[in-house]
């Protein structure tokens, strides 16, 4: 009888302990409801064996802590946030570059080029008029100066991006240090502390905005963080710091051994910035691997104009002086940043007469450059080629902005999913998932209907329109 | 009854799709129903525009073409949002062991449920 009483008291005691622990966990959940990265916990109440004959009184005891965090949902948020970070950085950086170009063509280099071609045209009508000659030199000077200005602005953009890339790399290292500290702490604990767990996931959320990475939770509870391509950032209590540098090919990210791992950073803000810096700006400004479209444009303008002028003479008749080059630049690789009007040329040294003796043959050829396809510009005219450079950056910005808009919604959906999945019955969630999938199918069909109708409208609009 | 110019109908459709995109940012059925309702209205708007273009030459074809291109861009964004959100749910359904319906981005049923890797939306 006494042993039964003790067993009952023991059962009651262990039940009280269990519920006390459950209460503590609940208080913890309430207290941390707005802590970034915190996932609610619950206590697994384990039934105790019941065998009165051998003195086992049954009841419950507190078991392991159950974390409501859903790995799939967390990973999706991280993954989608990485992509959003990439698009956001691309939209911002390409937007800044786009603002350097005038899409309407009424100002900037497009307008300057138009003025130069008009001055050639006016000069062709009065080849020996000093005012017309000076106008050509003045217009050429404006074009050269604005091309240099654009090259300089692009170069400043590249430098700003290099600074941002270095700063983002430092932020990544700083977050990696937080993960490393968590791991070091975790190696000394048997069960994870919910507060530290929240800090870890908050750190990973922040990291996902900056770069592409994946995580693996090891058997000892530590978290291994690998960059997109597999380079380690944190393994156990060891951190592998990244560094940023610049070279002739653009911005580079180096691992702790000094290896170039730039190609592994494909998303996150860092991925987006690297993309704009190395691909978009690289294709315009040139790099070790390419001349750059702006340099090609500047060199083609200078070479074509110079070639025409040098092939002719300043006046008709034997003994007339040969033409002089109007433009100068250092080399094809830096043509845009060094383009200038030949300091030695005077208005009287412009050569309107072509090789066949036509008094304004050269001036006419120069005036026709607006629509003359040039082989060194892939068969495009100067005007078309510069327009293409401006429209390419416009298209880059539009794509990035559209991607950012759609990705914001996907991230919101993924974040919402985390809250929905945490701490709910998986059976309920399975029903929910089916409902959502059917609703998305319906939405997709409606969007397809709009799209089909749009195609029909496009085909019906008269071709001559806009 | 006064006729709505096709370009205006297309613009209204674009605004409705924009509202549908915003509604998709919250993962609950009420918001999703609102998104579908906006899309249904958008379908009506574009059909009205199509009927208008079929009945008479548009007074300002350039404006209509511009509005149509803007709507096309908005449709592309909406498609990406639906694909992205559906991929998240499809991944969750695989995780939960239930068989969610699989379909193409045009809303047609696909032959078989996608493999797990297909659930991860590519950027």
Domain ranges of chain B: 6-119
Q: Which of A250, A247, A246, A256 lies closest to A173, judged by CA?
A: A256
Mutate to test the interface with B, among A419, A447, A458 (most CBs of B within 10 A): A447
CA proximity to B14, closest of A461, A442, A447: A447
Q: In the predicted model, is pLDDT for residue A7 greater than 60?
A: no
Rounded to the nearest angstrom, the minimum Cα separation between A435 and chain B is: 8
Judged against a pLDDT cut of 50, whether residue B119 lies above it is answered with no
Average pLDDT over residues A295-319: 93
* Interface list for A 2-61 with B (CB within 8 A): none
The CA distance from B113 to B100, in Å, is 8
Please give the Cα distance from A324 to A140 (Å, whole number).
14
- C-alpha span between A191 and A207 (Å, rounded): 24
Which residues in chain B touch residue A450, judged by CB atoms under 8 angstroms apart? 13, 17, 39, 42-43, 46, 71, 75
Q: Which residue of B has its CA nearest to A463?
A: B61
**Is A48 a residue whose pLDDT tops 90?**
no
Number of cross-chain residue pairs from A and B with Cβ atoms under 8 Å apart: 210
Residue A125 pLDDT level (bands cut at 50, 70, 90): very high
| Contact state of B50 with A444 under an 8 Å Cβ cutoff | no
- Give residue-wise pLDDT tens across range B18-71: 999 888 877 677 888 888 999 999 999 999 999 998 888 888 888 999 999 999
Give the tens place of pLDDT for each residue, A141-153.
999 999 999 999 9
How confident is the model at residue A461, as a pLDDT?
84
**Are A446 and B92 in contact (CB < 8 Å)?**
no
- Closest listed residue to residue A147, CA positions, set A79, A77, A100, A191: A100
Checking if the pLDDT of A397 tops 90, the result is yes
Lowest mean pLDDT among A36-45, A185-194, A266-275, A303-312: A36-45
Test A410 with B121 for CB contact under 8 angstroms: yes
| Cβ separation A454–B89 shorter than 8 A | no
Helix (H/G/I), strand (E/B), else coil: A226: strand
Mean local confidence (pLDDT), A383-410: 92
Among A41-50, A267-276, A429-438, which stretch is predicted with the lowest mean pLDDT?
A: A41-50
Q: DSSP letters of A388-402?
A: HHHHHHHHHHHHHHH
Of B27, B83, B123, the CB nearest to A83: B123
Check B103 against A442: CB less than 8 A apart.
no
How far, in Å, CA of A130 to CA of A137, rounded?
A: 11
| Predicted pLDDT of residue B123 | 30
Tell me the per-residue pLDDT of A93-119, one tens digit each, with 9 for 90 and over: 999 999 998 766 677 899 999 999 999
In sequence order, which residues have a C-beta less than 8 Å from that of residue A199 and are 6 or more positions away? A37, A178, A182
Q: Which of A127-136, A291-300, A370-379, A430-439 has the lowest mean pLDDT?
A: A430-439
Q: Is the pLDDT of residue A382 over 90?
A: yes
Tens-place pLDDT, residues A267-288:
999 999 999 999 999 999 998 8
Asked if A461 and B81 come within 8 Å (Cβ–Cβ), the reply is no
The CA distance from A397 to the nearest CA of chain B, in Å, is: 13
* Nearest-CB residue to A462 (from B35, B61, B101): B61
Q: Is it the case that residue A239 has pLDDT exceeding 60?
A: yes
Is the predicted pLDDT of residue A161 greater than 70, yes or no? yes
Judged by a CB distance cut-off of 8 A, whether residue A450 touches chain B is yes
A441 to chain B, closest Cα gap in Å: 5
Cβ–Cβ gap A410/B81 under 8 Å: yes
Q: Where are the beta strands (DSSP E) in A120-236?
A: 213-217, 223-227, 232-235
Least confident of A48-62, A77-91, B50-64: A48-62
Does residue A367 register a pLDDT over 80? yes
**Chain A nearest-CA residue for B7:** A457
Q: Could A446 and B47 be called an inter-chain contact, meaning their C-beta atoms sit closer than 8 Å? A: no
Q: Mark yes or no for CB contact A76/B91 under 8 Å.
A: yes
Residue % of chain A over a pLDDT of 90: 54
Q: How far is B1 from chain A (nearest CA, A)?
A: 22
Is A79 in CB contact (< 8 Å) with chain B?
A: yes
Range with the lowest mean pLDDT among A78-87, A375-384, A428-437? Answer: A428-437
Confidence band for A249, pLDDT divided at 50, 70 and 90: confident
Which positions 286-345 of A are in contact with B (Cβ < 8 Å)?
none
Positive/negative CA dihedral, A416, A417, A418, A424: positive
The whole-number pLDDT of residue A69 equals 58
């Amino acid at each position: 009888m006494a042993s039964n009483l003790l067993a009952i008291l023991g059962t009651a005691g262990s039940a009280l302990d269990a519920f006390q622990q459950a209460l503590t966990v609940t208080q913890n959940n309430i207290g941390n409801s707005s802590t970034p990265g915190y996932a609610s916990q619950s206590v697994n109440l384990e039934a105790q064996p019941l065998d009165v004959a051998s003195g086992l009184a049954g009841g419950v005891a507190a078991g392991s802590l159950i974390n409501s965090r859903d790995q799939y949902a967390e990973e999706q948020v991280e993954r989608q946030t990485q992509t959003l970070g990439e698009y956001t950085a691309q939209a911002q950086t390409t937007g800044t570059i786009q603002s350097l170009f005038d899409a309407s063509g009424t100002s900037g280099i497009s307008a300057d080029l138009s003025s130069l071609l008009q001055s050639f045209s006016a000069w062709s009508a009065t080849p020996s008029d000093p005012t017309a000659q000076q106008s050509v030199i003045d217009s050429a000077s404006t074009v050269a100066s604005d091309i240099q200005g654009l090259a300089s602005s692009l170069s400043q953009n590249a430098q700003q991006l290099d600074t941002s890339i270095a700063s983002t790399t430092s932020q990544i290292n700083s977050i990696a240090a937080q993960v490393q500290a968590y791991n070091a702490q975790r190696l000394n604990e048997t069960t994870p502390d919910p507060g530290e767990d929240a800090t870890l996931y908050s750190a990973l959320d922040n990291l996902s905005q900056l770069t592409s990475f994946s995580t693996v939770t090891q058997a000892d509870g530590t978290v291994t963080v690998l960059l997109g391509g597999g380079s380690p950032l944190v393994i156990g209590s060891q951190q592998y710091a990244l560094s940023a540098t610049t070279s002739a090919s653009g911005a580079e990210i180096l691992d702790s051994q000094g290896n170039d791992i730039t190609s592994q950073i494909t998303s996150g803000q860092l991925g987006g910035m690297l993309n704009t810096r190395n691909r978009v700006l690289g294709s315009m400004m040139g790099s070790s691997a390419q001349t750059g479209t702006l340099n090609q444009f500047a060199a083609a303008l200078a070479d074509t104009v110079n070639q025409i002028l040098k092939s002719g003479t300043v006046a008709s008749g034997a003994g007339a002086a040969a033409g002089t080059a109007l433009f100068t630049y250092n080399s094809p690789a830096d043509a845009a940043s060094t383009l200038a009007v030949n300091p030695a040329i005077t208005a009287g040294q412009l050569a309107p007469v072509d090789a066949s003796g036509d008094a304004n043959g050269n001036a006419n050829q120069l005036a026709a450059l607006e629509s003359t396809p040039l082989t060194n510009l892939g068969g495009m005219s100067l005007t078309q080629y510069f327009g293409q450079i401006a429209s390419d950056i416009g298209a880059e910005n539009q794509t990035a902005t559209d991607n950012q808009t759609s990705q914001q919604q996907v991230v919101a959906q993924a974040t919402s999913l985390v809250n929905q999945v945490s701490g709910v019955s998986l059976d309920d969630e399975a029903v929910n998932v089916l409902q959502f999938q059917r609703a998305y199918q319906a939405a997709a069909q409606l969007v397809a209907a709009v799209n089909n109708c749009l195609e029909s409208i496009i085909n019906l609009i008269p071709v001559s329109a806009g | 009854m006064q006729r709505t110019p096709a370009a205006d109908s297309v613009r209204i459709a674009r605004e409705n799709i924009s509202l549908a995109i915003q509604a998709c940012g919250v993962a609950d059925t009420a918001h999703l129903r609102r998104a579908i309702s906006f899309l249904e209205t958008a379908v009506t708007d574009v059909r009205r525009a199509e009927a208008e273009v079929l009945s008479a030459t548009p007074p300002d074809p350039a404006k209509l073409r511009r509005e149509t291109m803007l709507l096309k861009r908005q449709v592309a964004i909406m498609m990406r949002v639906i694909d992205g959100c559906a991929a998240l749910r499809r991944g969750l359904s695989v995780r939960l062991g239930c068989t969610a319906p699989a379909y193409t981005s045009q809303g047609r049923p696909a032959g078989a449920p996608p493999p797990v890797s297909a659930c991860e939306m590519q950027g």
